[in-house]
C-alpha cells in the first residue's frame, strides 16, 4: 500500500487546544431555565398532582426561595420537553407565578425515563395505593424490557438479567418490599377506576381490594351497584367468596347482593367513651371539642402507621 493511500485520523484543531477544564465541563450536566409552557407531563404519570395544603406550602417556599432542586426532563420529538421528575415543582411554580423552571435535560429512552420517574416519586410520604400500584407496574415492566423478555422455558412474569436474577427480585430489593406485596399492589391496577378510588379513600381495605381485582370489569361495576344498594363494602372473607364465584362463572348480581347484605359478625355496633374516661388524658383546660379533635388526629396517625405496616 502506498503511503499516500493511507487514511490518517487527525485530531481536530479545537480538540488539541481544549483544556482539561473544558473537557470536564463538557461531560457534566448543566442546569438550564426552561419556560413552564415547554414542559409537558410524563406519559401515564401515575402520581397525582393536586392543589392540596402541601402544594400550597411548596408554592410559598418557591415564592420566597425559588426552586432549590432542578427537575429532570428529556427532549420531545414534537418539541418542548417531557418532565421525568418534578411535576409537583412545576405546578407549585405555576402557583407561585414563575415563568421558568431550572431543569437538567437528559436524553433517555422510555424505559430509563420510566425508572427514574418512579424512583424520584415513590419515596414521598402519603403515596396513595393507586399511585404505588401503577408506579410498581410501570417500573417492573421497564425493568423487564431492559433485561430482555423471558424465554419459553422461564415462565416468570418478568425478565431475567444477564446473571440469571429475576427482575422482580431486583425490584423487590430496591423497594424494600417482598415480591408478594409488590405483585399484590400491581393487582390493584386491574380494578375499575371507581373501585380504585374507594381504595384510595380507605372505603375498601387493601386485602379485600386485591381479591376484588380478580373480578371481571363488568362484575366490578355490578358489585358497586350491590354495594350501593346494601350500603356496605366487602370484608376480606366476602371478597374471597366473590372471587371464587367469579372464577366458577357463577357470580350474578343476586349473588353479590346476597353476600353484601350479610351482617358482619364480631363488629360491635358502637363504642362509647364518656367524658370521665377521657378527662385524665387531657389538660383541664381542654374543651370536649378540643379533646375530640386530638383523638381524631391520633387515630389518623395510628391508622396510617397500621396501613404502612400491613402493606409491608
Q: What is the pLDDT of residue 296?
A: 81
> What average pLDDT does range 119-137 have in this prediction?
90
Q: What is the pLDDT of residue 114?
A: 94
pLDDT higher than 90, residue 244: yes
Q: What is the pLDDT of residue 82?
A: 96
Confidence of residue 146 (pLDDT cuts 50, 70, 90): confident
pLDDT higher than 60, residue 14: no
Q: Answer yes or no: are the C-beta atoms of 40 and 73 closer than 8 Å.
A: no
HSE at residue 266, side-chain half, CA atoms within 13 A, is 1
Percent of the chain surpassing pLDDT 70: 79
pLDDT tens readout for residues 150-170:
433 333 333 444 345 688 888
Give the least confident one: 5-9, 139-143, 163-167, 201-205. 5-9
> What average pLDDT does range 136-147 have in this prediction?
90
- Please choose, from the candidates 265, 267, 195, 200, the residue with its C-alpha nearest in 3D space to the C-alpha of residue 233: 195
DSSP the chain: --GGGPPP-PPPHHHHT--HHHHHHHHS--EEEEEGGGEEPPTT--S-----HHHHHHHHHHHHH--SS-EEEEE-TTSSEEEEE-HHHHHHHHHTT-SEEEEEE----HHHHHHHHHHHHTTSSS--HHHHHHHHHHHHHHHHHHH-PPPTT---SS-B-TTS-BHHHHHHHHHTS-HHHHHHHHHGGGS-HHHHHHHHTTSS-HHHHHHHTTS-HHHHHHHHHHHHHHT----HHHHHHHHHHHHTT---HHHHHHHHTSPPTT--S-----HHHHHTTS-TT--HHHHHHHHHHHHHHHHHHHHHHHH-
Q: Which carries the bigger pLDDT value, residue 176 or residue 17?
A: 176
Q: Answer yes or no: are the C-beta atoms of 42 and 84 closer than 8 Å.
A: yes
The CA distance from 195 to 217, in Å, is: 10
Sheet holding 100-105, edge to edge: 31-35, 100-105, 71-75, 81-85, 39-40
Q: What is the pLDDT of residue 151?
A: 39
Confidence of residue 302 (pLDDT cuts 50, 70, 90): confident
Q: What is the pLDDT of residue 71?
A: 95
Q: What is the pLDDT of residue 196?
A: 96
Confidence of residue 4 (pLDDT cuts 50, 70, 90): low
Q: What is the pLDDT of residue 176?
A: 83
pLDDT higher than 70, residue 105: yes
Q: What is the pLDDT of residue 290?
A: 74
pLDDT tens readout for residues 192-227:
999 999 999 999 999 999 999 999 999 999 999 999
Average pLDDT in the chain: 83
Give the least confident one: 63-72, 92-101, 145-154, 289-298. 145-154
Percent of the chain surpassing pLDDT 90: 58
List Cα–Cα distances, 206 to 130, 143, 145, 187, in angstroms: 11, 25, 29, 11
Which pTM was predicted? Answer: 0.69
The CA distance from 304 to 228, in Å, is: 26
Q: What is the pLDDT of residue 240?
A: 96
Quote the cell numbers at residue 130. Answer: 393507586
Amino acid at each position: 500500500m502506498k503511503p499516500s493511500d493511507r487514511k490518517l485520523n487527525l485530531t481536530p484543531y479545537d480538540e488539541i487546544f481544549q483544556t482539561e477544564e473544558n473537557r470536564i465541563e463538557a461531560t457534566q450536566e448543566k442546569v438550564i431555565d426552561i419556560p413552564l409552557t415547554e414542559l409537558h407531563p410524563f406519559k401515564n404519570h401515575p402520581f397525582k398532582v393536586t392543589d392540596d395544603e402541601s402544594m400550597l406550602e411548596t408554592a410559598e417556599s418557591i415564592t420566597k426561595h425559588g426552586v432549590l432542586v432542578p427537575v429532570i426532563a428529556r427532549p420531545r420529538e414534537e418539541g418542548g420537553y417531557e418532565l421525568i421528575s418534578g411535576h409537583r415543582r412545576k405546578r407549585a411554580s405555576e402557583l407561585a407565578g414563575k415563568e421558568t423552571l431550572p431543569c437538567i435535560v437528559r436524553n433517555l429512552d422510555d424505559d430509563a425515563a420510566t425508572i427514574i420517574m418512579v424512583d424520584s416519586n415513590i419515596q414521598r410520604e402519603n403515596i396513595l395505593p393507586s399511585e404505588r400500584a401503577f408506579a410498581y407496574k410501570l417500573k417492573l415492566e421497564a425493568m423487564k424490557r431492559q433485561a430482555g423478555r423471558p424465554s419459553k422455558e422461564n415462565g416468570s412474569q418478568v425478565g431475567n438479567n444477564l446473571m440469571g436474577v429475576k427482575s422482580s427480585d431486583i425490584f423487590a430489593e430496591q423497594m424494600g418490599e417482598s415480591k408478594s406485596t409488590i405483585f399484590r399492589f400491581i393487582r390493584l391496577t386491574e380494578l375499575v377506576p371507581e373501585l380504585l378510588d374507594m381504595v384510595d379513600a380507605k372505603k375498601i381495605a387493601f386485602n379485600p381490594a386485591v381479591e376484588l381485582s380478580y373480578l371481571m370489569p363488568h362484575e366490578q361495576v355490578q358489585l358497586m351497584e350491590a354495594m350501593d344498594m346494601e350500603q356496605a363494602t366487602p370484608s376480606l372473607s366476602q371478597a374471597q367468596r366473590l372471587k371464587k364465584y367469579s372464577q366458577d362463572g357463577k357470580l350474578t348480581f343476586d349473588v353479590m347482593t346476597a353476600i353484601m347484605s350479610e351482617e358482619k359478625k364480631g363488629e360491635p355496633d358502637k363504642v362509647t367513651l364518656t367524658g370521665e374516661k377521657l378527662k385524665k388524658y387531657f389538660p383541664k383546660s381542654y374543651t370536649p371539642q378540643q379533646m375530640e379533635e386530638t383523638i381524631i388526629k391520633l387515630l389518623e396517625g395510628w391508622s396510617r402507621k397500621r396501613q404502612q405496616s400491613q402493606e409491608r
